[in-house]
Amino acid sequence: MSVTPHAGVGEPFWSVMIPTYKRTTYLEAALRSVLAQDEGPERMQIEVVDNCSPTPDVQAMVQRVGAGRITFFQQKSNLGMLANWQTCISRARGRWVHILHDDDVVYDGFYARLGEGLRQSPEAVAGLVRYAYMKSDGTPVQKSHLEAPASGLLRDYLPLIAARNRIQMAAIVVRRDVYGTAGPFREDLVYTLDWEMWVRVALAGPIWYEPEVLAGYRTHDGNETSRMTETGADTIDMRRAVEVISGQLPAGIRRSCRRAGLAYVAESALEKAAVTAYRRRYAASRRQLWQAAKARWTALLSGKALKTIARNIVRV
C-alpha cells in the first residue's frame, strides 16, 4: 500500500478520514461528532474522501458544516469502496489514521482518551475503544464486547481477533506506518476485508484499549452489510476470511483459531437466519441456514436453528 511519508514537524497526530458516496443522511452527524473534538489543524487532519458522488450535495454539506475546517477530496470516477478506503490511507498525513464511515460517529473523549494512551505506549500499533451498536436514528442499543476492564495494552489479542471480528472501523485508529507495512486491504474479500486487516495489525504488535464506549456503529437497511445478508454473500465471505486468516497465523494457534472462526461463522449465520425469518424474508433466511451448515453442520442441531427451520416451513 502506498503511504505518503509525512514524518517530521508538520505531521499531525491524527488523520480523520471519512470515505463517502452519495450519502448526506448521516454524514452531517459524523462530521459534527469529529468537529466537537477538533484539536486544531496542526494536530488533526480532517478530510472527506468522496467516491465521485453524482451530485454536489456531499461537497455542499462538507463546506457548510466544516466552514473551511474540513478538506474535501473527490475521486475523478467511482473506484469502489475498497479503493476509496485505500485513498483515505494514502492521503493521510497524521501519525494515527482513523477511517470513520460516513454513517458512524465518535463520542466525546474519543481522541483525547486514545491520544493519552497512545502517547504513553510507543509500542502500540493501534488504539481501540469499546463501541455501541446504534439504531438508524442514532440510539445506542447494545455495547460491544468488553475486551479488558481497564485501559492498557492488549498483548494477547491475536487469538481473539483471529477467531471472530470484534472491531468496527469507527472504534479503531491505526499507526500510519503499520498500514504501510501491513499492505492493502484484500480485493478478494468484501464483507470481511476489515476483519482480515485487523488480524494483520494485531500480528504487528500490541493494541491500546479504552473500555469506555467512545464510538457508535450505525446499523440500517441501507448499508452494504444489510444487502449482503439477503443473498448470503456475507457468510460466504466470512468463511473465505477464516481460511485466509488461519493461513497467516503462527502454527501454534492456527487450528484452534480456524475451528473457532468457523463456529463464529455458523453462529452469525444462524442469528441472521432467525432475524430474516422473523421479518418474513424466508429466502434470505434459508440462504443463511445453508451457509451455517456449510461452516459447521452441527449448528443446525441447536434450538435456534430448529426453530428457524420450523418458521421457514410454517411461515408464520
Query: Would you state the pLDDT for residue 241?
Result: 97
Indicate the average pLDDT of the chain.
92
State the SS3 of the chain.
CCCCCCCCCCCCCEEEEEEECCCCCCHHHHHHHHHCCCCCCCCEEEEEEECCCCCCHHHHHHHHHHCCCCEEEECCCCCCHHHHHHHHHHHCCCCEEEECCCCCEECCCHHHHHHHHHHCCCCCCEEEEEEEEECCCCCEEEECCCCCCCCEEECCCHHHHHHCCCCCHHHEEEEHHHHHHHCCCCCCCCCCHHHHHHHHHHHHCCEEEEEEEEEEEECCCCCHHHHHHHHCHHHHHHHHHHHHHHCCCCHHHHHHHHHHHHHHHHHHHHHHHHHHHHCCCHHHHHHHHHHHHHHCHHHHHCHHHHHHHHHHHHCC
The reported pLDDT for the residue numbered 229 is 84
Across the range 261-280, mean pLDDT stands at 89
How many percent of the chain have pLDDT more than 90? 74
pLDDT, one tens digit per residue, over 153-185 is 998 999 999 999 999 999 999 999 999 999 999
| Domains of the chain, first to last | 14-218 (3.90.550.10), 224-314 (no CATH)
% of the chain beyond a pLDDT of 70? 93
Higher pLDDT, 254 or 282: 254
Residue 108 reports pLDDT greater than 60:
yes
Q: Which residue has the higher pLDDT, 23 or 304?
A: 23
Indicate the pLDDT class of residue 3, thresholds 50, 70 and 90: low
pLDDT score for 130: 98
Q: pTM for the full model?
A: 0.90
Assess whether pLDDT exceeds 80 at residue 315: no
